Amino acid sequence: MTGMTRSDLVARLSDRFAQLRQSDAEFAVKTMLDAMSDALARGHRIEIRGFGSFSINRRPPRVGRNPRSGEQVTIPEKLVPHFKPGKALREAVDVGPAAPEHDRF
């Protein structure tokens, strides 16, 4: 099983849309990911119908242990990004690759 990197996404976009140069596809992907990161950093929720939603989850402060010394350590509160897949994405993943890979995006 292989992953998809940012550069793979840029290549797929420029291959799929002939009028889009590689540099334009790169700019589009960067702009979109930056906008999503900024929105999450401001505490907004992002919903992409048929794909899923991104939100921020709060992890409360807790007491942990230093694995080396065993002493207790206070771990501060954290805000972490969370992704919840939409129904269409869950069903597409469950079914598996039905269409040739170049048709799916």
The correct answer on CATH 4.10.520.10 for the domain covering 47-96 is: yes
Closest CA to 46 of 66, 59, 32: 32
Percent of the chain with pLDDT over 90: 83
pTM attached to this predicted model: 0.75
Classify 14 as helix, strand or coil.
helix
pLDDT above 90: residue 96: no
pLDDT of 99 reads 55
Rounded to 10 deg, the angle between the 6-16 and 22-41 helix axes is 130
- Band the pLDDT of 101: cuts 50, 70, 90: low
For the chain, domain boundaries: 1-44, 47-96
pLDDT in tens, 30-70: 999 999 999 999 999 999 998 999 999 999 999 999 999 99
